[in-house]
């Protein structure tokens, strides 16, 4: 074998992918979130088109109310802060801080889901359905309107609720692995990747709250 060929073979054998297993995990999550963002974007764009074309669309806050949902939104925002603190804790080998803040993040997600379940139960008993609605407002007025209002509301908020449920289960697995010693200051990539997902879910909810409840 010539010297040039030997050098080429040596270079080939020493070549390593610039992507580590940790960066592959982050890349995979980013790809997943990009696809998921398009799904939510399509739902919100469809909602906007249907709403624009309807002459019977109510003011959402007259039908849905916003105070409970505003509290739920604040809870998700705070849970993102707890997620950041949980990641920071494990990065400095603070297992107690990791358990506390990731645990609070999980409880925040569960509380959000309970709030959403109560909201759905309340609205369904008031008369909001998938194919039409007849509601009695706080003033006592009976109002009816576009059946698409209930359809779009339940589909969009339900789709997001499924993501929160998935996030809670995901973080629960991370929390259980963390308290068993799976993560440390030199091995926290899985926690960081889970945080990307949770922050995405929170950001999407802010968009849903703005478009569906406020505008």
The tens place of each residue's pLDDT in the chain, 215 residues long, gives 555 554 444 444 444 555 565 677 788 889 989 998 999 999 999 888 888 877 777 777 777 778 888 999 999 999 999 999 999 999 999 999 999 999 999 999 999 999 999 988 988 887 776 666 666 655 666 666 667 877 888 899 999 999 999 999 999 999 999 988 888 888 888 999 999 999 999 999 999 998 888 87
Residue 36 resides in a domain? yes
* Inter-residue contact 22 to 189 (CB < 8 Å): yes
pLDDT for 77-128, tens place per residue?
999 999 999 999 999 999 999 999 999 999 999 999 999 999 889 888 877 7
Residue 134 resides in a domain? yes
Can you give the pLDDT at residue 173?
95
Can you give the pLDDT at residue 203?
94
Residue 57 resides in a domain? yes
CATH of the domain at 126: 1.20.120.80
Residue 1 resides in a domain? no
Domain count, the chain: 1
The pTM for the full model equals 0.82
Residue 25 resides in a domain? no
Can you give the pLDDT at residue 23?
72
What backbone torsions phi and psi does residue 133 show, to the nearest 5 degrees? -155, 145
C-alpha to C-alpha distances, 7 to 1, 3, 11, 14, nearest whole angstrom = 10, 6, 6, 11
Residue 105 resides in a domain? yes
Half-sphere exposure of residue 152, counting CA atoms within 13 Å on the CB side?
25
- Provide the domain limits for residue 200: 31-214
Can you give the pLDDT at residue 127?
72
Residue 23 resides in a domain? no
Residue 7 resides in a domain? no
């Amino acid at each position: 074998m010539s010297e040039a060929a030997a050098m080429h073979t040596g270079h080939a054998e020493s070549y390593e992918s610039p992507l580590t297993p940790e960066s592959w995990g982050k890349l995979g999550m980013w790809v997943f979130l990009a696809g998921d963002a398009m799904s939510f974007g399509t739902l919100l764009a469809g909602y906007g088109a249907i709403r624009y074309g309807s002459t019977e669309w109510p003011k959402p806050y007259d039908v849905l109310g916003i105070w409970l949902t505003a509290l739920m939104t604040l809870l998700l925002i705070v849970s993102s802060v707890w997620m950041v603190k949980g990641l920071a804790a494990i990065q400095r080998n603070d297992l107690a801080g990791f358990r506390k803040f990731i645990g609070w993040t999980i409880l925040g997600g569960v509380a959000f889901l309970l709030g959403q379940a109560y909201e759905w139960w309340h609205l369904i008993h008031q008369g909001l359905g998938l194919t039409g609605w007849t509601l009695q407002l706080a003033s006592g007025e009976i109002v009816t309107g576009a059946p698409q209002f209930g359809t779009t509301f339940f589909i969009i908020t339900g789709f997001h609720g499924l993501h929160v449920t998935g996030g809670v289960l995901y973080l629960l697995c991370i929390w259980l692995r963390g308290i068993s010693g799976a993560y440390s200051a030199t091995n926290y990539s899985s926690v960081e990747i889970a945080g990307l997902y949770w922050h995405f879910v929170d950001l999407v909810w802010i968009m849903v709250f703005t478009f569906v409840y406020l505008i």
